[in-house]
Structure 1
C-alpha cells in the first residue's frame, strides 16, 4: 500500500470515526429524551409540546385535584389519553379497586393492573417505578387523590419502556465516557501508526544521510516494506553499500599504488646499485686489465638488461591491469597446440638437464579460444618460475591435462622447494615472493605469475596453485572448451578408453 493511500485512509478514518460516534451519540440522546425515533414527529404535535415528562405528570395530578369532576368526564379523558398515547403512555384510573377508566383495552387484558399498588394517601405522588410483565418492561407512576364523593382514587400512568431506551437511560454515562475514550484511542492509535510507518523511517533516513555526510558508512539502513518508504530505504542501503565498496576499492588501489612504487623502487635499486658500483670501479681504475674491464662491462650490460626486462613487464602488467592490452582470440585445437609447445620445451629443458614428463590425452577435437602469443607467455612464465627455484639434483617438470565439467585443466608441476601451503594463494600477487626466494641468486621481477593470472582471467579461465613446502608446486590452468568441440572431445576420450 502506497504512502498516499495510507494518508488518505488514515485521515478519512480520523474524519469518519468521530462523525459516526457523534451521530450515534445524537441518536441515543434523541431516544433518551423523545422515546422511539419513529414517534418523534408525533411528539412535536402534542398539546404538551415542550414539557418534560415530570411536568406532564404534575399537570395531570393538579388538573384532577382541582377539577375532580374530570375523573368521570369521558370526553376529557379520551382527549388526554390520545395525547398520552402519542408518548406510548397509558392512563388507568382505579376507584375502590374498580376500574373507572382505561386508555385501551390493552390494560384491561393485561394482568399488569393486578399488581398495581393500593391507595396510600390522598395527595401523594409515588415516584415512577419499573415493573416487568410478560418479558416487557413498564414504568408506572401513581397519583392518589379523593373523588368529589370522598372515594379513594388512584391514577396510574403506565409507559411501556423500549429496551433500547431503557438500556441507554441506564448506561448513558458509560456510553458517553466510552465514546470519548474510543475517540481518544482512535486518534492515538492512528497517530502512533503513522509515526511508526512514516515518521520513523523518515527520521532514520535523515540520520543515515547525516552519517554519510560525515563520512561514516559503517552502518546499515534497517527499513523494510513494499511501499515507497521501504523501496527508498532499500535504494539508500544499496547506495551506501556501493559507496562503501567503492571507497574500499579506491583505498585498496591507493595501497596497491604505494606498494607498487615501493616494490619498483626496491627492484630497480638493486641493479642500479650494481651498475653504479661497476662504473665506479672502471672510473677509479679497479678494472686495470682488459679482462676485468670486459667483465665489468658485461655485468653492467646484464644488469641493464634486467632493468629493461623489469620495465617491460611493469608496462605489460600495467596495460593488463587497465585492460588496455589487445587480445587476438582464435579457436585453437588445444592439444596439438600444447604438443607443439611441449616439443619445443623439451629441447630447451634438455639443455638445462631437466626431465620433462608429459601426460596429455584429450583428442584432437577440443578447441579453446586463446590468444596464442599471450597464452605462450603464460606457459613460459610458469616454466621460468619453476626453473628459477629448482634446488634438487634431479630436476623434473610434469605437464598433464584432463577434460572435466566443460573445461580443460592444464597442470604444470615441478619438484622444487615449493612454498608453505598458506603462501600458495598469494603467489599470483604482484611482486610477491616466498621468503626463501628473496635472494640475489634467483632474482626476478616478481611479476611473472601476476601477469600469467591477468592473461588467464582475460581468457575467461582461472589459475590456481597447490604446494607443500619441500615437495614442489603444481600450477593448474582451467580454460572453458567450446561447446561444439566438447562433444567430439568427449567422444574421442571414450573411444580411447
Structure 2
C-alpha cells in the first residue's frame, strides 16, 4: 500500500471516527436523560425550556377544552400559572380585547402583550414562534378555543428562553449541516495540503532516484522549503550534482588516459622505428663502411637518448600529477639567483647564436620560496621551448622581472614564430603541440610546459603565455613574494 493511500485512509478515519463518536454520544445522552430514542424527537420538537410541548398540549386539551368554565376560574388559573411559572412559563388569557388572566410578570410587559396575534379558529393551535421584547426572547404557544358562553378565547404560554438556545434550536439542522461541511472541507484541504507538501516531494524524489539508478543525471531536483523534506531534496540534488561532476571527470580522465596512451605510443614508436631501421641496416650490411657504421650507431644512441628523455619526463609528470614529488622549499633572493642562472644560460645561447637580454627589476631584497632544482627545470623547459621555434635571422631571448601587487613576475620572451591565438590557452596541456606533425625537432615531447605548470602550481604560483603569431611568445611566471630587508 502506497503512502498516498495510507494518508487518505488516515484522513478518512479522522473524519468518520469523530462523527461516529458524536452520534453515539448523542444517542447515549438521549437514553440517559429521556429514557428512549423516541424522546429525542420529542425533545427536539419541544420549543420550551424545561417542559415538553406534547405534555402541554395534552394538558390544555384535557383541561380547558373539555371544561371551558376553567378559563374564567381565577383560582384554578392562579394555580395553573404557578405551576407554569415553575417551568419558566407565563400564562396570558384573552377574550377579544378583554384580558381574562395575566401572570404577574406580564403585567409590566404591556408591549409584549400587544404583539400577540389575534384569535384564529376555535380548537386551533399555532406553531410556537419567537418574539423579542427588549433584550429578552420569548417562545409563544397559542391555543384558540371557545369559552362556556361561546366567546372566542386565546390562551398564550410565554416561555422566556436564552437567545443562544433559541438560535441553536431554530437553526440546529443548518448548524449540523455546516458542521459536517466544515469537517469535510477541513479534511479535503488538509489532504490536499499534505499531498502537495509531502506526497509530491516524495514522488519526485522516487522518480529522481529511479533516473539516477538508470544512469540519467541530466536533471534537477527542485523541492523547496526548510523542513526535513526540503533539506532532503537539497541533499539529494547536491548528491546528483556531485555524481554528475564525478562522471564528467571520470569521462575526462578516461579520454585523457586514451589520449595519453596514444601520444606515448606515438612518441615512443618514432624512435623505436628509427632504431630498428638502423639496426636492420647494420645487420643487412648496408653500413658497409666504418663511417656509415659509426653514423648508424650514433643515430641509434641519439634515438635511445630521446626515448630515455621522454620516459624521464613521463615519470616526472606522473609524479607531479599525483603530487608525489616532494619539494625542498627555501627562501631565495630571487634576483641574484636569476643572475647566476642567466650567466650560465648566456654561454649556452652564445653557442647557438642567440642574444640574451637581461632586465632584472623589483629590488634586490625580493625573496621567493622555491625549490632550486625544480625551478631551474621550469626555466630550462621554457628556454628549450623557445629555442625550438626560433625562425628569425637575429634570434633573441629577453628575461624581465618586476614586482607588483600580485607578487614577483618573471617574463621570458622570444622573437620566434609565435603561437596561433587558438592554441595559446592549450600550450600547458600535456602532449599538446601547436605543430601537428609531432616532429621532435620542432615540437618536442609535448610535456615540457605541462611539467613547468605542475611545478609552478606546486610553488603556489601561476604560469601563463602570451603570443603574437609571427612575432614571438612571452611566458610569464607569478610567484608570491616575501618581504626582505628592503621590501615594504
TM-score by length of 1: 0.84
Q: Distance in 1 between matches of 2:128 and 2:440?
A: 122
Aligned 8 A contact 1:362 1:489 in 2: no
Deviations 1:424-473 (A, max 9, x none): 01011111100366335325211101111111111111111111211211
Aligned 8 A contact 1:35 1:87 in 2: no
Let me know the Cα RMSD of the aligned residues.
3.1
- Secondary structure, in 3 states, of the residue corresponding to 2:64? helix
Aligned to 1:294: 294
Q: Is 444-453 or 83-92 further displaced after alignment?
A: 83-92
- Secondary structure, in 3 states, of the residue corresponding to 1:368? strand
Corresponding residue pairs, total: 464
Aligned 8 A contact 1:430 1:447 in 2: yes
Deviations 1:363-401 (A, max 9, x none): 222222111100000000000000011111111111112
Aligned to 2:251: 251
- Listed as ranges, the matches of 1:62-141 within 5 Å are 62-134=62-134, 137-141=137-141
Q: 1:402 to 1:113 in 2, by over 3 A?
A: same
- Secondary structure, in 3 states, of the residue corresponding to 1:410? strand
Q: Is 330-339 or 257-266 further displaced after alignment?
A: 330-339
Q: Distance in 2 between matches of 1:34 and 1:377?
A: 111
Say whether residues 1:402 and 2:405 are aligned partners: no
- Listed as ranges, the matches of 1:105-184 within 5 Å are 105-134=105-134, 137-160=137-160, 162-184=162-184
Aligned 8 A contact 1:18 1:183 in 2: no
Aligned 8 A contact 1:389 1:437 in 2: no
Shift of residue 188, structure 1, vs aligned partner:
1.4
Aligned to 2:446: 446
Deviations 1:302-345 (A, max 9, x none): 11111111111111111111111121111112122112112221
Q: Distance in 1 between matches of 2:209 and 2:121?
A: 88
Aligned to 2:3: none
Q: 1:221 to 1:83 in 2, by over 3 A?
A: farther
- Secondary structure, in 3 states, of the residue corresponding to 2:123? coil
- Secondary structure, in 3 states, of the residue corresponding to 1:433? coil
Aligned 8 A contact 1:125 1:144 in 2: yes
Q: 1:69 to 1:230 in 2, by over 3 A?
A: same
Aligned to 1:3: none
- Secondary structure, in 3 states, of the residue corresponding to 2:324? coil
Q: Is 468-477 or 221-230 further displaced after alignment?
A: 221-230
Aligned 8 A contact 1:93 1:99 in 2: yes
Q: 1:224 to 1:61 in 2, by over 3 A?
A: same
- Secondary structure, in 3 states, of the residue corresponding to 2:476? strand
Q: Any unmatched runs of 5+ in structure 2?
A: 1-6, 30-39
Q: Distance in 2 between matches of 1:295 and 1:232?
A: 73
Shift of residue 213, structure 1, vs aligned partner:
2.0
Aligned to 2:270: 270
- Listed as ranges, the matches of 1:363-402 within 5 Å are 363-402=363-402
Aligned to 2:329: 329
Aligned to 2:33: none
Q: Distance in 1 between matches of 2:185 and 2:278?
A: 95
Shift of residue 83, structure 1, vs aligned partner:
4.0
Q: Distance in 1 between matches of 2:124 and 2:198?
A: 68
Aligned to 2:426: 426
Q: Distance in 1 between matches of 2:144 and 2:241?
A: 92
Q: Distance in 1 between matches of 2:270 and 2:102?
A: 134
- Listed as ranges, the matches of 1:187-336 within 5 Å are 187-336=187-336
- Secondary structure, in 3 states, of the residue corresponding to 2:425? helix
Q: Distance in 2 between matches of 1:117 and 1:250?
A: 97
Shift of residue 138, structure 1, vs aligned partner:
4.1
TM-score by length of 2: 0.86
Aligned 8 A contact 1:139 1:161 in 2: yes
Shift of residue 233, structure 1, vs aligned partner:
1.9
Shift of residue 410, structure 1, vs aligned partner:
1.1
Q: Distance in 2 between matches of 1:82 and 1:356?
A: 134
Q: Distance in 1 between matches of 2:158 and 2:109?
A: 14
Aligned 8 A contact 1:61 1:143 in 2: no
Q: Is 291-300 or 279-288 further displaced after alignment?
A: 279-288
Q: 1:353 to 1:133 in 2, by over 3 A?
A: same
Q: Any unmatched runs of 5+ in structure 1?
A: 1-6, 492-497
Aligned 8 A contact 1:418 1:473 in 2: yes
Q: Distance in 1 between matches of 2:17 and 2:399?
A: 84
Aligned to 1:416: 416
Deviations 1:47-68 (A, max 9, x none): x5xx3x2542343143112123
Q: Distance in 2 between matches of 1:34 and 1:458?
A: 98
Shift of residue 70, structure 1, vs aligned partner:
2.6
Q: Distance in 1 between matches of 2:143 and 2:131?
A: 17
Q: Is 248-257 or 458-467 further displaced after alignment?
A: 248-257
Shift of residue 140, structure 1, vs aligned partner:
3.3
